[in-house]
Amino acid sequence: MRLWPRHPAEIPPSLPAALEAQDWSALRENMVRTQIERRDVRDPAVLKAMRVIPRHLFVPVELRSSAYEDRPLTIGHGQTISQPYIVGSMSDLLEIQPAHTVLEIGTGCGYQAAILSQLANQVFSVEIVDALAKQSSRMLHELGYRNVTVRRGDGYLGWPEEAPFDRIILTAAPPEMVPALVNQLKNGGRLIAPIGVDNQVLVIVDKDAQGRTQQRTRYGVAFVPMVPGRK
Ligand code: SAH
C-alpha cells in the first residue's frame, strides 16, 4: 500500500494555498469546522447556511482574504462585520423555524441578513446609514436572497408595518433594552441583543404565550453602539 506521497487531490489544501487559488469554499469549510462547529453551535440549518453564504462577497475587496478569519472586520462607515462565531451563535440561540418572520436591526454589509434568509421565511432588516442600506440591499438582491427586505431607518423604532415578528436580532448595542422592539415581538417570540455601553452582554428575551417576558444573559460581547435615531 502506498502511503506517501498521496495523490494531490487527497491532500487538504493548506490555508495559504487555498487563498492563492481563491478557493473560498475551502476557507469557508475550515471556518465552519474550526470556529463554529467545534465551539457550541449545533443547529444544522445554521451550520448549513454558514457553509453556503459567501462571506467574502460581503466585505470590501481589499479585505476578502481576511473574510473567513476568526474575528470581526472594520469595513467603513463606522461599521463592522461581526466575527463568524458570533453570527453563528446568535443565529443558533434564536432557534429560528422555517416559517418565521425575523427582524434584524443593523444590516451593515448584510452578511447576518443573508444567513437569516436561509433560516426564516421572511427577513426585514433596518440600517441607519443610507449608503449601507443601499449597498447591502443591492448585494443581497444580486446574490438572489429574495426573502430579505432592507430599509434605511432608525432601529429604535423597529418596523411597525411588518410587526409582530417571531424573532428579533440586534447587531448594534443599545445602552439598555428597547421596549418598542420587545413590543414588536409575537407571543412565544424571542429577541436577542447586545446590551450596554462599556461592558456589553448578550441578552435573550423570551415572550410567553400570555405576552409576559423573561430575560437572561448569555455572554460578554463587543458590538458597535446603536446610535440614537435621526428625524
Ligand atoms: N449585521 C451586520 C453587523 C452590522 S454592524 C453583519 O452582518 O455583520 C452594526 C450596524 O448597525 C452598522 O451598520 C450601523 O450603522 C447600524 N446601526 C447603528 N445604529 C443603528 C440604529 N439606530 N438603527 C439601525 N441601524 C443602526
Per-residue pLDDT tens, the chain, 231 aa: give them. 333 333 444 445 555 555 555 789 999 999 999 999 999 999 999 999 999 999 999 998 999 999 999 999 988 887 889 999 999 999 999 999 999 999 999 999 999 999 999 999 999 999 999 999 999 999 999 999 999 999 999 999 999 999 999 999 999 999 999 999 999 999 999 999 999 998 999 999 999 999 999 999 999 999 999 998 764
69, part of any domain:
yes
5, part of any domain:
no
Distance between CA 100 and CA 147 in Å, rounded?
11
228, part of any domain:
no
Mutate to test the pocket of ligand 1, among 77, 105, 168, 192 (most ligand atoms within 8 A of CB): 105
Domain CATH number, residue 102:
3.40.50.150
**pTM recorded for the entire structure:** 0.91
Q: What's the total number of domains in the chain?
A: 1
Distance between CA 11 and CA 219 in Å, rounded?
38
CB of 81 within 6 A of ligand 1: the answer is yes
Q: Which residue of the set 25, 65, 66, 82 is catalytic?
A: 82
226, part of any domain:
no
* Alpha carbon of 176 to ligand 1 centroid (Å): 16
CB of 226 within 6 A of ligand 1: the answer is yes
Provide the domain limits for residue 115: 17-221
**Is 65 annotated in the active site?**
no
138, part of any domain:
yes
